[in-house]
Amino acid sequence: MSRTSSIAASLSANRKRFVAELAGTFFVVVFATGSVVIDAQAGGAYGTPFAAVAPAIAVAACVYAFGKVSMAHFNPAVTVAFFITGHISKAQLPVYLGAEMIGAVLGSLFVMAFVGTEANLGANAPDYSFPLPLIVAVEVLATGFLMAVIYAVVYTKGLKGFSGVAIGGMVGLDILFLSFISGASMNPARSFAPAVLSGAVGDLWLYWSATFAGSSIVAFFAKRKF
């Protein structure tokens, strides 16, 4: 294959990755934030289980739909972790991050237009009645748990079999058991879009620090081990 053909093939592959990551992140954000908005509209009748199951289903479905194309990140913290372990190249990094951020914003715009604007468009919010160090630690832990499951899947099943169920299930479990403390975002893009569009940006520092910290810690461990 000539150099020109190789570059063309690389560009084509990156376009497919971009579309897959944009679409996957869009659906994840719609389900994750839309469920919060719907619960708020119902006066909290559905509760945390509903807010946990909805994104779990979306993540699982999107892993199966797009995993073979892009490895199904849908999350800048996951992308950075995969960069650390060499699963994606430096040139691919902006492709993934750009697609994820655009997909997240489009997802929140969809929720705003067709679902509602309650609960700050479903933006994550920690409970500050807990000590701040605990809140940060829980968000790091939640993201670390998710990243550990993703690596376990990648290094064993390779996004096959029950991989989508495992990854989506971990998202749901984190939300179910940890969101009452930290908000359990695990995903900077999922936090960014509704917060910026609703103006509730006060907690973004948490979700743009603890999430990357959690995924990176697991990535460095995985890099040393595998």
Rg (CA), the chain: 17
pLDDT at 73: 96
Q: Taking Cα atoms as reference points, which of 190, 149, 150, 196 lies closest to residue 27?
A: 190
pLDDT at 224: 87
Tokens encoding 167: 């990854």
**Rounded distance, CA 141 to CA 152, Å?**
16
What CATH fold (topology level) applies to the domain 3-225? Answer: Glycerol uptake facilitator protein (1.20.1080)
Give, in order, the Cα–Cα distances in Å from 220 to each of 3, 60, 75, 88: 33, 25, 18, 15
pLDDT (tens digit, 0 to 9) for every residue of the chain, 226 residues total? 555 555 556 668 999 999 999 999 999 999 999 999 999 999 999 999 999 999 999 999 999 999 999 999 999 999 999 999 999 999 999 999 999 999 999 999 999 999 999 999 999 999 999 999 999 999 999 999 999 999 999 887 666 678 899 999 999 999 999 999 999 999 999 999 999 999 999 999 999 999 999 999 999 999 987 7
DSSP-assigned letter for residue 202:
T
Q: Kindly give, in sequence order, each residue whose CB lies less than 8 Å from that of residue 203, ignoring residues fewer than 6 positions away.
A: 123, 124, 125, 126, 183, 191, 195
Q: Taking Cα atoms as reference points, which of 71, 79, 83, 67 lies closest to residue 223?
A: 83
pLDDT at 155: 81
DSSP-assigned letter for residue 89:
-
Q: Taking Cα atoms as reference points, which of 57, 3, 54, 9 lies closest to residue 33?
A: 54
Q: Taking Cα atoms as reference points, which of 129, 117, 100, 106 lies closest to residue 211?
A: 100
Q: Taking Cα atoms as reference points, which of 103, 111, 52 lies closest to residue 76?
A: 103
Residue 10 main-chain phi, psi, to 5 deg: -65, -45
Domain-wise residue ranges, the chain:
3-225
Q: Which conformational region is residue 160 in: left (phi greater than 0), alpha (psi within -120 to 50 degrees), or beta?
A: beta
CA atoms within 13 A on the CB side of 25: 36
Q: Taking Cα atoms as reference points, which of 161, 181, 221, 194 lies closest to residue 55?
A: 194
